[in-house]
Amino acid sequence: MNVNWFKFASPPAFYSLAGRLIPIFWGLTLTLLVIGLYWGFFQTTDQLGGSNPQKEYYRIIFIHVSSAWMSMWLYFVMVVWAAIGLVFNTRLSFMMAKAIAPTGAVFTFLALWTGAFWGRPSWGTYWDWDPRLTSELVLFFMYIGYIALHSAIDDIRRADRASALLAIVGLVMVPVIFWSINCPDPNQCAALHQRSNLTKIDGNILFAMLTMSLAFWMYSFAATFMRLRSLILTREAESIWVRELLTQRGEQ
Amino acid sequence: MLRSFWCILTRDLTLALRRRTDVLTTLFFFVIVVSLFPLGVSTEQQILRILGPGVVWVAALLASMLALERLFAADYDDGTLEQLLLTGQPLALLVLGKITAHWLLTGLPLVLIAPLVGMQYHLTDTAIGVMMIALLIGTPILSLIGAIGAALTLGLRGGGILLSLLILPLYIPVLIYGAGAIEVSVIDLSNTQPYLTLLGAFLLVALIFAPVAAAAALRISIE
C-alpha cells in the first residue's frame, strides 16, 4: 500500500480532515463522559478503605486522576510535535504544539483544583508540599511559560521555534524536578499521596476512571483540533485557499 | 578552539570591568534582598537559622536571574552577536565562554559575600562553609540554565519578566539541593555529601547540554 504520510502535513488538507474529525471526537467525548460519570456515581461503592474510610468524596478521583494523567500526557505530546517541527520544519507541527498547550494547562489546573478539594476532607488541608502536588504545580508553570513565550514573540516563525526549544528543555528537566522534589532527604519524604497501584483498585472504579480518562483524551483531540483550525485560518489568511473558502461561505 | 573560548572570556571580563557598577548592582541586590527577610519575618536567632539557607538561595536565584538579561543583550544591540554566529568557531563553545564570564562576574561574588550574609543569619561556621561550597557548585548551574532562557527572550519586550517565568521553574532542583545541603550540615556534616555530589552531577549535565541548547536558541532568535 502506498500511503503519502505527508499528505495531511499541509494545512489545507488537514484543515478539512480536522473539520470532519471534530464532530466524531465530540461525540466520543460525550458518550464516554456519560458512561464514565454514570458508572462512577452509581456502580461503585459508597465508601473506600477500612479503618479510615473515604466516603462519597472519593468519587472526585474520576476527574482528578484522569486530568492529572492527561496533563502529563499532553505535555509529552506537545514536546513530540515541537520536536518534529524543529527537525522536519513543518508548519503544522508547530501549530499542533501550540494548540495543545492551553488544553494541557487547563487539565493541570483542573488536577490541582480538584486535588485541593479532595485533600481538604481527606487530609485536612487544601495544599501541602507533597512531591506530586509540587511537580504538578511546576508542570503548570511550564505550560504557562510556553504560552507566555509564544505570545511574547511577534514573528511567528521565531515564536514557534523558540517555544519548541523551551518545551524540549522543559521535558528534559521534568524527571530531574520530579526526583528532586520527591526525595531530597528520606526523612523529609512525607508524601501524602499513596503510591499508585492500579491492580489493587476495585474493578468498577478502575473502569469509571479509565473511561473518564478516555473521555478527557477525546476532548483534548476535539479542543485541540478546533483551536488548530482557527490557527490555520489566521496564519494562512493571505493564501488563496482560505480566501476561496471565505468567499464560498459568504455565498451560502 | 580553546583560544576562541579564551578570547571571548577575556573580552567579556574586560568589558565588564570597565563598567564595574553593573557587577556591583547584582551583588548589592543580593545583599539587600537577604537583609530584608529578617526585617519582614522575625529577627529571632532560632527562626533566622532555619530561614537562612532558603533565603540565601532564593536571593541568589533572583540575583543571577536579573543579571541574565545582560548576558547577550549588549552584544545583540551592537551586532557583535551576529558576528559571533558567523565565525567558523563552534557557537556552543563561544556561548560557554560568555557564560563563564557571566558567572565570574555575577556568581562568584555571591559565593565570596556569602559568609557575611551567613553571619546576618547566625549560621554556624560549618554551615557557612557548606553554604559557600554549595553556592560554588550551584551558581554556575544557574548561569548555564539561565543562558538558554536569555537566548530565547533576546530582544523581546518585557524580556526580564518573561525570563523569570521561563527559568525559575527550572531552577527548582538547584534550590532544593543547595538549601538542603546547608540545612543538613547543621545536624550532621557527613550527611551533606549526597547533596553536594548531586549538585555536582547537575553541574556536569548542565555544562554539557546547556551551551548547546543556548546556542540553538541564539540561532533561532537571530535568524
CB-CB neighbors (< 8 A) of A145 in chain B: 165-166, 169
Distance from CA of A142 to the nearest CA of B (A): 7
- How many domains are there within chain A? 1
Question: Tell me, what CATH number does A59's domain have?
Answer: 1.20.120
Cell of A207: 473502569
Domain range for B49 is 2-221
Q: Which residues of A touch B180 (CB under 8 A)?
A: 184-185
Instruction: For residue A8, tell me if it sits in a domain.
Output: no
User: Does A4 reside within a domain?
Assistant: no
Whether residue A232 lies inside any domain: the answer is yes
Put simply, the answer to whether A145 touches B169 (Cβ < 8 Å) is yes
Angle at B152 between CA B147 and CA B142, to 5 degrees: 25
- For residue A150, which residues of chain B lie inside 8 Å, CB to CB? none
Which of A30, A52, A36 is closest to A213 using CA atoms?
A: A36
| Within-domain flag for A65 | yes
- Residue A117 belongs to some domain of the structure: yes
User: How many alpha carbons fall within 13 Å on the CB side of residue B143?
Assistant: 26
- Per-residue pLDDT 10s for chain B (223 aa) are 788 888 888 998 888 888 888 888 889 999 999 999 888 888 888 888 888 888 999 999 999 888 888 888 888 888 888 888 888 888 899 999 999 999 999 899 999 999 998 888 888 888 899 999 999 999 999 999 999 999 999 888 777 788 988 999 889 889 988 888 888 887 777 778 888 888 999 999 999 999 999 999 999 988 7
Q: How many domains does chain B have?
A: 1
- Taking any CB pair shorter than 8 Å as contact, residues of chain B touching chain A are 148-149, 152-153, 156-159, 162, 165-166, 168-170, 172-173, 176-177, 180, 184, 195, 202, 209, 213, 216-217, 220-221, 223
A6 domain residue, yes or no = no
Distance CA B57, CA B53 (A): 6
Residue A99 is assigned to a structural domain of this protein: yes
Cα(B50)–Cα(B182) distance, integer angstroms = 10
Cα–Cα distance measured from residue A220 to residue A26, given in angstroms and rounded to the nearest whole number = 10
What domain range is A193 assigned to?
Answer: 13-251
* Contact check, Cβ <8 Å, A158/B216: no
Round to whole Å and give the CA distance between B223 and B205.
28
For B88, which DSSP code?
Answer: S
